[in-house]
């Protein structure tokens, strides 16, 4: 512990993001870094509490409490305070293959479980994490580390999202020859096409790490869709083991009247098209564009926020975000105690930008869509909403009940469905005859990751359902460990 009184002396402070009205004019990252003197002061707020829930990674009330990959947070906070940045980077990489990803897109359950957060604003863990790894890249401390000895074993990883990349990195470190199959035109999965560029830069951040992995010996094959141009049985015949990390990419639909009208799209379809246009340096040429349109985003999670921020950058006329849940309270409630994730009201970057541009938070709560309305050409022009109330049914479950007389008609030419995902796409699972659980996910026990097929493992959202990037990294690392044990009889992977 660097400074015993740091948590008393220093207030929580974050770097100032680029101003909302400035950053919406481009697709560049909007976060900025602090000067090192201030970062050291922020690290000094870590209080050596003796019971650091920040890195426990437990599920409490169905939500992550603490870091799922068990980052050694108090240790690298202390090292940053002492100015030992390279040592802090080594501690960070010990548990996290990709801190530049989590430092940008993770919602930071670690901060929600920070002991200081019981009665004060928590330590700025996420910002310090990102600063450590970015300094590592800037200083040239992060270089390829190819394994000294190869085992002669070949492993296929299907999917190059955070789980697939983590599994590939760890298996390569163990000396196996790893080939990653990705159906998209670029590797990265969710990191490449599910998160917009202003939140996670694709060339400077995502591809930088993937290029490093390539130099370490991992082979990436893109445009490789299993069941289309890749024979599924190849994994059983030509590889000693396979790790499936295809994600939960089946979006939740909204089967109401008018759903098939032109102008109603899944959020992931919209975000993917836009990112491809941005990467081609033609952001105005995206096939799904919000320019001069009234946009309504249906769903209040991170993906919905990304749609709001993207639509504003595309020049939408207006934006509304519909949320079926009630507005969260401003402070923790009695039934949401520390160290649970704090269910409190906050403005994410997309809402901040909408408020700056249009004057108010774009979200409306306890509302759902009743129907879409089209014009004579079959194009979306309006949608009808209705307010709901959550009531218990005869089984004791809370269900939404429409409130008569609360219908509203809103103008809209682009509606984006961001209501989460139902599970993995089933074609590959059926081809390989993999067992699934009642939620259609691949059946594989947590911390074992083995499927009903010998030598075939599953990790990430395709096993656990839609979740956080940090959980995907946890599972990718865990599946690599169990895969290595299967191949070699024992394992040194953590």
Q: Which residue has the tokens 């999917």?
A: 159
Number of helices (H), then strands (E), belonging to the chain: the values are 17, 18
Q: Using CA atoms, how far apart are residues 182 and 477, in angstroms rounded to an integer? A: 19
The full DSSP string for 247-282 is: ---EEPP---BTTTSBTEEEHHHHHHHHHHHHHTT-
Q: How distant is the alpha carbon of residue 398 from its chain centre?
A: 27
Across the 494 residues of the chain, what is the mean pLDDT of every consecutive 10-residue run? 87 95 97 93 91 89 90 95 97 97 96 94 97 98 97 98 98 98 97 97 97 98 90 92 96 97 98 97 96 97 97 98 97 92 95 97 98 97 97 91 96 97 91 93 94 97 95 97 98 96
Kindly state the tokens that stand for 373.
């309305």
Retrieve residue 443's tokens.
């059946």
CA Rg, the chain, in Å? 23
DSSP string, 150-166: --S-EEEEE--SHHHHH
User: 461 with 163: CB under 8 angstroms?
Assistant: yes
- In this chain, the answer to whether the domains covering 154-249+422-488 and 253-419 adopt an identical fold is yes
User: Which single residue is written with the structure tokens 């801190």?
Assistant: 99
Q: Are 66 and 55 in contact (CB under 8 A)?
A: yes
Q: Looking up tokens 């939960």, which residue turns up?
A: 248
Backbone torsions φ then ψ of 209, nearest 5 degrees: -70, -40
Strand partners, 233: none
Cα 94–chain centre separation: 21
Q: What is the CATH number of domain 253-419?
A: 3.50.50.60
Task: State yes or no: cis peptide before 252, omega within 30 of 0.
Answer: no
HEC states along 27-44?
CCCCCCCCCHHHHHHHHC
What topology does CATH give the domain 154-249+422-488? FAD/NAD(P)-binding domain (3.50.50)
Distance, CA of 81 to CA of 424 (rounded, Å): 43
Closest CA to 473 of 205, 86, 105, 78: 105
Question: Contact at 8 Å (CB) between 268 and 251?
Answer: yes
Alpha-carbon distance of 482 to 360, in angstroms, equals 49
Strands 380-392 and 398-402 turn out to be antiparallel
The residues, ordered by sequence, that sit 6+ positions from 306 with a Cβ below 8 Å of its Cβ are 195, 196, 199, 267, 271, 350, 418
Domain boundaries, the chain: 6-139, 154-249+422-488, 253-419
Interhelix angle 85-95/125-139, rounded to 10 degrees, is 110
Q: Would you say 256 and 240 are in contact if contact means Cβ atoms under 8 Å apart? A: no
CATH number assigned to the domain covering 6-139: 1.10.1060.10
Handedness of CA 281, 284, 289, 294 (dihedral sign): positive
The residue behind tokens 């409190």 is: 344
User: Contact 178/218 with Cβ under 8 angstroms?
Assistant: yes
Please give the pLDDT value at position 189: 97
Q: State residue 1's pLDDT score.
A: 64
What is the distance between the alpha carbons of residues 367 and 390, in angstroms, rounded to a whole number?
Answer: 11
Residue 131: which of 99, 156, 174 has the closest Cα?
A: 99
Token pair, residue 476, equals 């990718």
């Amino acid at each position: 512990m660097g400074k015993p009184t740091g948590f008393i002396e220093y207030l929580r402070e974050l770097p100032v993001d680029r101003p909302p009205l400035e950053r919406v004019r481009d697709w560049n990252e909007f976060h900025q870094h602090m000067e090192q003197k201030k970062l050291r002061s922020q690290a000094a707020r870590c209080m050596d509490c003796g019971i650091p829930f920040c890195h426990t990674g437990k599920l409490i009330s169905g939500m992550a409490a603490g870091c799922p990959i068990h980052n050694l947070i108090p240790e690298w906070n202390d090292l940053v305070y002492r100015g030992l940045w390279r040592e802090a980077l080594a501690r960070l990489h010990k548990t996290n293959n990709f801190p530049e990803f989590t430092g940008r897109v993770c919602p930071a359950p670690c901060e929600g479980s920070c002991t200081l957060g019981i009665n004060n604003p928590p330590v700025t863990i996420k910002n310090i994490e990102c600063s450590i790894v970015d300094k590592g890249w800037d200083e040239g401390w992060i270089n390829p580390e190819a394994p000294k000895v190869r085992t002669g074993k070949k492993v296929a990883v299907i999917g190059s999202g955070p789980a697939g990349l983590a599994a590939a990195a760890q298996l390569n470190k163990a000396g196996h020859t790893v080939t990653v199959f990705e159906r998209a035109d670029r590797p990265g999965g969710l990191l490449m096409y599910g998160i917009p560029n202003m939140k996670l830069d694709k060339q400077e951040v995502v591809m930088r790490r993937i290029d490093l992995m390539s130099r370490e010996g991992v082979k990436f094959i893109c445009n490789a869709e299993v069941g289309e141009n890749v024979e599924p049985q190849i994994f059983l015949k030509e590889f000693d083991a396979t790790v499936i990390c295809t994600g939960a990419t089946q979006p939740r639909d909204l089967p109401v009247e008018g759903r098939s009208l032109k102008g109603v799209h899944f959020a992931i379809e919209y975000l993917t098209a836009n990112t491809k246009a941005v990467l081609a340096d033609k952001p105005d040429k995206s096939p799904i564009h919000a320019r001069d349109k009234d946009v309504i985003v249906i769903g209040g999670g991170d993906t919905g926020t990304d749609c709001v921020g993207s639509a504003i950058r595309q020049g939408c006329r207006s934006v509304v975000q519909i949320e079926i849940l009630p507005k969260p309270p401003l402070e923790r409630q009695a039934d949401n105690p520390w160290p649970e994730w704090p269910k409190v009201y906050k403005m994410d970057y997309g809402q901040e930008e909408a408020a700056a541009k249009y004057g108010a938070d774009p979200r409306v709560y306890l509302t759902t869509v009743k129907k879409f309305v089209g014009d004579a050409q079959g194009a979306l022009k309006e949608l009808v909403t209705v307010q709901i109330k959550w009531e218990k049914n005869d089984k004791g479950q809370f269900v939404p009940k429409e409130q008569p007389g609360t219908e509203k008609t809103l103008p809209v030419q682009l509606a984006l469905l961001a209501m989460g995902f139902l599970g993995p796409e089933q074609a590959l699972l059926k081809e390989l005859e993999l067992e699934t659980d009642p939620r259609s996910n691949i059946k594989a026990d947590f911390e074992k990751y083995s499927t009903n097929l010998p030598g075939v493992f599953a990790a990430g959202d395709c096993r656990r359902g839609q979740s956080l990037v940090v959980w995907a990294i946890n599972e990718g690392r865990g599946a690599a460990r169990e895969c290595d044990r299967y191949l070699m009889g024992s394992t040194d992977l953590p």
